[in-house]
Structure 1
Amino acid sequence: MPTSIPAATVRTRVRIPLRFTDGYNTTAEVVTFHGLVDGAEHLALVLGRPSAGVPLVRMHSECLTGDVFGSARCDCGPQLREAVQRIDGAGGVLLYLRQEGRGIGLYNKLDAYALQDAGLDTYQANLSLGLPEDSRDYTAAAQMLAALGVAELNLLTNNPDKAQQLRDLGVTVAEAVPTSVHATPHNLRYLHAKAEHTQHTIVLPSLTSLAG
């Protein structure tokens, strides 16, 4: 049975030109909100032309190291770049959620990186710090979608937990649409951990195939 959630309302809408390092550019309507349950400053980027079809939506968790500094330890930056273009083409919304490090925060994420350098995987590192493997809750995302009038969507994700949480919150996920696989020698162990531990729907090369 879907969980009942409090209503959020739109606070501001502003159009912002976006430009990525590879030259791709577009314009998004950036939306802020009142009444989000976690009190965080999440954003919705409305992209493309509205249509009568089911919108394409991605819930992208903030990753300062990947999104801003281009860190190759994860696939967050390439996924964000891919998502903006695909949503712009299909029409839909990118929810940029302030959930650094799967919800543990920036400093803790960097502490977890140090433990990963010592041999732990991304989930083991969080647990070793006394933190959850993944503390993300998507109630605020469901509020944002409701405030934007989105009750049914195609979800751009490889993470089955995202689709399940939205469904539990009363959002109709018509289809889970996979993102591309952005594997490099630097992030392959990280991606394998996501595929093996939390059943992300990604097909990966072996851990040694990109080493050379």
Structure 2
Amino acid sequence: MSLALTFRPKNFDDILGQYELIEIFKKFTALQKLPHSIFFGTAGSGKTTFARVVAKEFGLDFYEFDGGNFKLEELRKILDNYKNSLYKPLIFIDEIHRLSKTQQEMLLIPMENYRLILIGASTENPYFVLSSGIRSRSMLFEFKSLGVKELETLLLRVQEKMKFSIDKEAKDFLLKSADARAMLNLLEFVLVLDEKHISLENLKKLRN
């Protein structure tokens, strides 16, 4: 299993950064009230992971789509399976800004009737790339890039599990990314080169 999957947060308390959003969604969870939501912000800031945790905390079935390959027929099949159910699915659409205008419009009625809970993720500003109909039915949450403190905490978690040493220069190089996914991917493959020690030299062999 990849490091990104191994160290993926399983609950709100595992999530690094986004502390204000965590408190908001903990309150939503306590009251069991979940709005349609758009998560927007830089790549690697944890939008997909946050959506997965939300689904788990609410006990909702999680269906993940990519906006570039989204097919309305697949969504209809899912909704048909919940037609007579008291439960509703959480539909997560990554890169939701890549949906066509028609696809966005087809989401409006299921959103309005709460036949589903929609969470969309985007690296783009939703005011520029999503229809007013989607925006008016959703709460908009901005995700901030992870800071050095959060990435250092994540690096320490990996180091404690994988048991390696690391040069200060190599550590500084990793912490510059502000992207947890990129850092974990780089860690995974630099440990292939040397599973006991991480050096700046080996890091630069993989990403200069």
Q: TM-score, normalised by structure 2?
A: 0.29
Higher RCO (C-alpha 8 Å, min separation 6): 2
Choose 1 or 2 for highest CA Rg.
2
| Structure with more of its chain in strand, by fraction | 1
Q: TM-score, normalised by structure 1?
A: 0.29
| Structure with more of its chain in helix, by fraction | 2
